[in-house]
Amino acid sequence: MSEHDQSFASMTGKFQRNIYATTKGRLRLAVLKRDLASFYEASPLRILDIGGGLGQLSAWFIAAGHQVTHTDIAAEMVVEAKALHQQQGLLAHRYEVAALQDLPQLLESEHYDLVLCHAVLEWMANPEQALLVIKRLLAPNGQLSLMFYNRNAKYFANAIYGNFDYVQSNLKVKKTVRLSPQQPLDPNQVEQWIQAQNGHVLSKTGVRVIHDYLRNPKDAEQFDQLLEIELRFNQESPFRDLGRYLHWLIRFDE
């Protein structure tokens, strides 16, 4: 792990409360499940979940009979993920505590039909290099499910909230918030990195294209209606481009 990459060791409880137990966490999982439904319904696949956290998405795929390798850089996350799976009567093919950069050596000759890498690159010192590592782990015709923190949405949200000094400082703050990524990624740059590695973005979705712009945050409690609207608009431009996160499906040529 690079000295500048960040893990979430000793923060599993906070992660559960502040992300997965909120409407934004529920929304994220619902959108990902919609986008990945074709993989879920396919014949058993070899799936690698990088930075899989507490294991909700891994559990979904394990329950469908897929061979899942669950990894995270934080040992506590992996322990909690395994416990969650066991509570549901499930078990991944393999659990590993490892940084993304170490996975090719750790997993040796393993290659995967689907690699999940969600909310990981924005915490890394060299996200472009991380894409090269992921490419090495894909089987021929395999796909990468990449979700990353959208720099453009962070600029836009802070501008409409009136945080003008923050926007003018290019999103730099003196005090960082540990669960808030401090290196949001420029979608155009990410796509350039992908193309430079002979990759193609097959589909694009915005995650939280409405949720994060609600004038009254309590309106998110009308979750079913909110989710219906999010799913209706989040693959259409310009709505998808304002998602707090962007979810792309990617294939690399050999």
pLDDT tens-digit readout, 132-149: 999 999 999 999 999 999
- Fold of the CATH domain 12-150+183-252: Rossmann fold (3.40.50)
Q: Span 54-82, mean pLDDT?
A: 97
Q: Span 142-168, mean pLDDT?
A: 94
- Name the percent of the chain lying above pLDDT 70: 89
Annotated binding site for S-adenosyl-L-methionine: 28, 51-52, 72, 118
Q: Span 91-112, mean pLDDT?
A: 95
Q: Span 9-29, mean pLDDT?
A: 69
User: Confidence band (pLDDT; 50, 70, 90) for 77?
Assistant: very high
Strand order across the beta sheet in which 245-252 lies:
94-97, 67-72, 46-50, 112-118, 138-149, 245-252, 199-207
User: Confidence band (pLDDT; 50, 70, 90) for 179?
Assistant: low
SS3 content of the chain, % helix, strand, coil (to 5): 45, 20, 35
Averaged pLDDT of the chain: 91
Chain centroid to CA 51: how far?
Answer: 8
User: Confidence band (pLDDT; 50, 70, 90) for 183?
Assistant: confident
Rounded distance between C-alpha atoms, residue 218 and residue 235, angstroms: 25
Annotated binding site: 28, 51-52, 72, 118
- pLDDT of 15 higher than 60: no
